[in-house]
Amino acid sequence: MKKKIKNVLINEDCLSHLKKLPDNIFDHCITDPPYNISNYENKKEIGWYKSNETWKKNKKFFKINEEWDVFNDDEYFEFCKDFIKEVCRVTKDNGNIIIFGTYHNIYKLGFIIDSLKLRIINSIIWYKRNAFPNITQRMLCESTEQMIWFVNNNKKKAKNWVFNYKEMKMLTENKKQMRNMWDIPMTSVKEKRYGKHPSQKPLELLDRLIIGCTKKKDIILDPFCGSGTTAVSAKKNGRFFYAVEKNKEYFKLSKKRLR
């Protein structure tokens, strides 16, 4: 089976596909699931945004509104629970699992991970220094995303997880310990030259995760491949990828980037 799971890109629903796979075949998982920003319950339509041409036309501001990101609250919680359980089943014991989120979903993810008694190692904060301004002027400008890094084992048995301490030190400006707050610009236009994804992560961000939390020739699962950044970084850094993406257009985008 191991030969068949190196550098694979699949165009399928992640949950349906993961259920077909045997246990314990991937070394790690790094993934960026839907955040349920498009249609969470009790979300209000911003009336003035609909009639304000400045933000839409001149500043090209568009809210994430994707079919794959639409759940009600109960559906989303069950969806997260299901995909986390499947990811844990197909990842080896003590493998690293890193999941992205924002305030919309990160607390739900943390609750599920904790309820499964899994060992959380770190939260990692991505500070987007060039984040888009908050146009409502009714709250602080949201300038971060978070990652939960946990080990695929319970709190008592978790051991020997991969953390390349020295390599991470070398990535810092002053060659000191890597901290858990990363100041990295948002995805550049250059990285989007093959097509656009509304939540595409910068390659530098995935490079840090892969260099720091995996080993050469490890196989990294990404069940929400999107634009393929995890797979691109894995290939670039001497690892293998196994990526699943449901959306046909994003699947094609990932193929272009990997070529």
Domain count along the chain: 1
Q: What is the pLDDT of residues 67-124, one digit of tens each?
A: 765 667 789 999 999 999 999 999 999 999 999 999 999 999 999 999 999 999 999 9
> Which residues does residue 219 pair with via DSSP β-bridges, in sequence order?
240
Report the pLDDT averaged over residues 184-209: 92
Structural domain including 180 reads 2-258
3-class secondary-structure state, position 204: helix
> Which residues does residue 31 pair with via DSSP β-bridges, in sequence order?
99
pLDDT category at 239 given cuts 50, 70, 90 is: very high
3-class secondary-structure state, position 183: strand
- DSSP code string of 169-238: HHTSTTSSPPPSEEE-PPPPTGGGTT---TTPPPHHHHHHHHHHH--TT-EEEESS-TT-HHHHHHHHTT
**Residue 52: what pLDDT?**
58
**β 219-222/181-183 pair status:** unpaired
**Residue 48: what pLDDT?**
45
Q: What is the pLDDT of residues 49-58, one digit of tens each?
A: 455 565 555 5
Q: What is the pLDDT of residues 208-238, one digit of tens each?
A: 999 999 999 999 999 999 999 999 999 999 9
Q: What is the pTM of this model?
A: 0.89
Between CA 40 and CA 110 the distance in angstroms is 18
- Which token pair is 222? 């990404």
Q: What is the CATH number of the domain that holds 137?
A: 3.40.50.150
